[in-house]
Amino acid sequence: MSLPAGTHIAVDGPIGAGTTSLARILSDEFDTRLELEDPTANPFLPDFYRDPRRFALQTQLSFLLFRHRQQASLRQLSLFHRTVVTDYIFEKDFIFAHMNLDERELDLYNRVAGILVKDVPNPDMVVYLQSSPGRLLTNIRVRDIEYERLLELDYLRQLCEAYSRFFFQWDRSPLLIVNASRIDFVNNVDHRRQLLKMVAAMPVGTTFFNPEA
C-alpha cells in the first residue's frame, strides 16, 4: 500500500486515544516523514494540570506557537512532494483554548491564532480517533505520565464532547472517524490491516470505521 506523493495525513483525537501510536503505524506502513508534537516541550503543562485556572493561557499560547512553527515547516515538505503523517491538526489548539480560557483570554488567543493560522497547510485527510471517556482514562492510567495522573473523568467527558462538536462541523478535508473504543490497531492485526486499507483508499467526505459493528 502507498499514498500519493506529497500527501499529508493528520491523526487527531482526545488525550489517550492513541493518536501518536496510530501516526507511527501509518508512517511505518506508508514510509512517510513523521511529525509528532511533543507535549513535554511545553514548560507550562505540568503547572496547568496542577492549577488549570492560573496557567491555562500560558499553556495554550505555548502550544499555539510550537504547533504553528512545526506546521508552517510542512509547507517546505510539500514543495518537495514529501508525504507526511502528523499526530495532530493545528485546529486542535482551538478545541483546548475554548475549553480552558475565559472570555478575555480567549479573545487574546483568537487574535494571535487568527494571524498564525494563515501559515498552516490543510491536511489531505484527517483520521479522528473517537473514544469514550472511560477508555481514555484507562489508557492514560496505563501509560502513567506523572502530570497526567491529575486528569479526572469529568474533564475527559468535556474533552470528548468538545471534539465531537468540532469534528461534526469539519469540512476542510476528507475525514475518517474511527471508533477507538472498539478497535485495537496496535495489537489486533486484522483491525490494523482494515484501518490501513481505509486510509490508503483516502475516501472523500466523512467516513466511519467501526470494525466490530
Residue 38: give its domain's CATH number. 3.40.50.300
pLDDT, position 5: 83
Per-residue CA distances from 213 to 34, 50, 170, 208, 209 (Å)? 31, 39, 24, 11, 9
Average pLDDT along the chain: 91
Using DSSP's 3-state secondary structure scheme, residue 82 falls into coil
C-alpha cell at 102: 475565559
Q: Rounded to an integer, what distance in angstroms lies between the CA atom of residue 165 and that of residue 124?
A: 21
The sheet with strand 206-209 has its strands ordered as 33-35, 84-86, 8-12, 125-130, 175-179, 206-209
- Residue type present at position 95: I
Average pLDDT over residues 5-20: 93
Strands 175-179 and 125-130: parallel
Pseudo-torsion of CA 184, 213, 12, 163, nearest 10°?
-130
In a domain, 1, yes or no: no
Alpha helices in the chain (DSSP H): 19-30, 45-50, 52-79, 92-100, 103-116, 133-143, 153-168, 189-201
The boundaries of the domain holding residue 45 are 8-209
Residue 191 resides in a domain: yes
Q: What percent of the chain has pLDDT over 90?
A: 72
Whether residue 93 lies inside any domain: the answer is yes
Q: Give the predicted TM-score (pTM) of the model.
A: 0.91
Residue 3 lies in a domain: no
How does residue 97 score in pLDDT terms, banded at 50, 70 and 90? very high
- C-beta separation of 181 from 151 below 8 A: no
**Which amino acid is residue 153, in one-letter code?**
L
Residue 7, beta-bridge partner list: none
**Residue-wise pLDDT tens digits, 99-128:** 999 999 999 999 999 999 888 888 999 999
Residue with cell 496557567: 55
What span, in angstroms and rounded, lies between the C-alpha atoms of 109 and 44? 16
Domain total in the chain: 1
